[in-house]
Structure formats: structure tokens, C-alpha cells
Amino acid sequence: MRIVNVLVACTTVNKQIKMPLQNGATDERAKLFSLNISIISAKLHGISGLFSKPPDVYVELIVDSVTSRKTAIRKKTNAPHWDEQIQFVLNTQIQVHESSILEFRLFGKSKLFEDSLIGQKILKMSHAIKKESDNGKFDNTKMTLQLSSPKDTARVGELKILLSGTVIRPKKKSVGEYI
């Protein structure tokens, strides 16, 4: 199983969790919270590669249009499974929070040409938190994401993921500051 470990930075002040201020100010007693994203498997519908063989596929995960990690390539399959781990060690500039957007992109690997985007799904963390978590805490939460074609939004398959860990949900204290 491929696990993506995303670290979320926040600070503790007067026994309250405090997210960094918009001006970048932080407290020296910073704590890290993590969210593990396991990319489990995919099922593709009627997708074939060169000469009608199933494609070699991999998944790319993009966090807030910045961070990109890829799974291993699974050869000639319409039902790939990923069983290895990737650890994301992120600096404080890249955080997963309630307003983060995760983009899952499934590619067909090509030896001769540019890899082709087969399907994609954008997951808003705010939606996942509301529908799938206990106030930002994910406890081995399984999700099935419907993959859409980048050309015409037709459904091309599904991607199964598992979320574990915590996403901090800041409460606004005043403009530009969180508690």
C-alpha cells in the first residue's frame, strides 16, 4: 500500500491550537499534525493502451497545486493495486488544511510519447471533512473517488483511497488570525 504522509503545521498558545497567521508569524512551540493518504487501487472502464493492451498506469497526487508525488507504475492492468509507502516530509510552506485541494491524476505511462492523463478527481478537503470525518479526524476512512476523463468529463473509472490522521479546522478569531 502506498502511503502519503502529509504534515500540517500549527502552533499551541494558551492550550489552544493556533494556525500560523497570514503574515507568516508562528509560535516557537510548533507541533506537527499528519494526514496519511493511502492510494489503494483503481478500476478502469474500457481503457486500453497501444495495440489494445491494458496500459501501464500510475497515480500522481497534487496538494494545492504545489506538491506532487507519484505511485509506482503498474504494468498492463485495468485494475492496479499499489502496496508500497511514500512519505511526504513537507516544510511549513505546504500545509493540508480545511481549504486544501487534493488532485488525483491517473496516467498511462508511455515509452515513446508523453504520458497520457486517463482520469482525474479533485477532492476538496472541506468536503471530505464534512462528509467523511469526525470534525477533521480521519480514522482509516475509505473513500472511492470517481475518475473523470480530462477531455469530456466522462467517467473512466474509480480510485480507492484511505485517509488517516487529522486536519486542523481553525476557527476565525478576527480578520487574518486564527485560533
CA nearest neighbour of 74 among 109, 102, 50, 48: 109
Cα 87 from Cα 3, distance rounded (Å): 7
CATH architecture assignment, domain 2-178 = Sandwich (2.60)
Q: Which residues of the chain have pLDDT under 50?
A: 2-23, 25-31, 85, 87-93
DSSP state for residue 46 in the 8-state scheme: S
CB 162 within 8 A of CB 35: no
Amino acid, res. 36: N
Residue 172: per-residue pLDDT: 60
Residue 168: per-residue pLDDT: 67
In the chain, what are the domain boundaries?
2-178
Residue 19: per-residue pLDDT: 44
Residue 16: per-residue pLDDT: 36
Cα 156 from Cα 32, distance rounded (Å): 37
CB 58 within 8 A of CB 74: yes
CB 27 within 8 A of CB 11: yes
Question: Can you give the pTM of this predicted structure?
Answer: 0.74
Cα 171 from Cα 104, distance rounded (Å): 28
66 alpha-carbon distance from chain centroid? 12
Cα 34 from Cα 40, distance rounded (Å): 19
